[in-house]
Amino acid sequence: MRLQRFLRSNTSNKQEPLFAIVKNITGVSPNDLSLYKRVFTHTSMEETDASGKKINYERLEFLGDAVLNTIIAAYLFDSLPQNSEGSLTLMRSKIVRRDFLNTVGEHLGLIDHLASNVPQKNYGSNVHGNLFEALVGALYLDLGFERCSQFVFNHMITPFVDLDKLQHKVLSYKSLLVDWFQKKRLRYSFEVALDNGTENINHYSAKLLIDGKVVAKARAKNKKRAVEKVSKRAYFKFQDNIHSIQSKH
Report the catalytic residues. 65, 133
Look at residues 214, 212, 228 and name the one whose alpha carbon lies nearest to residue 174.
Answer: 228
Q: Tell how many helices (H) and how many strands (E) occur in the chain.
A: 12, 5
Please give the biggest Cα pair distance in the chain: 70
Contact 62, 144 (CB under 8 A): no
Question: Phi, psi (5° rounding) for residue 126?
Answer: -105, 15
Report how far residue 164's alpha carbon sits from residue 205's, in angstroms, rounded to the nearest whole number: 34
Q: Where are the beta strands (DSSP E) in the chain?
A: 47-48, 54-55, 188-194, 204-210, 213-220
CB atoms within 10 A of CB 143: 20
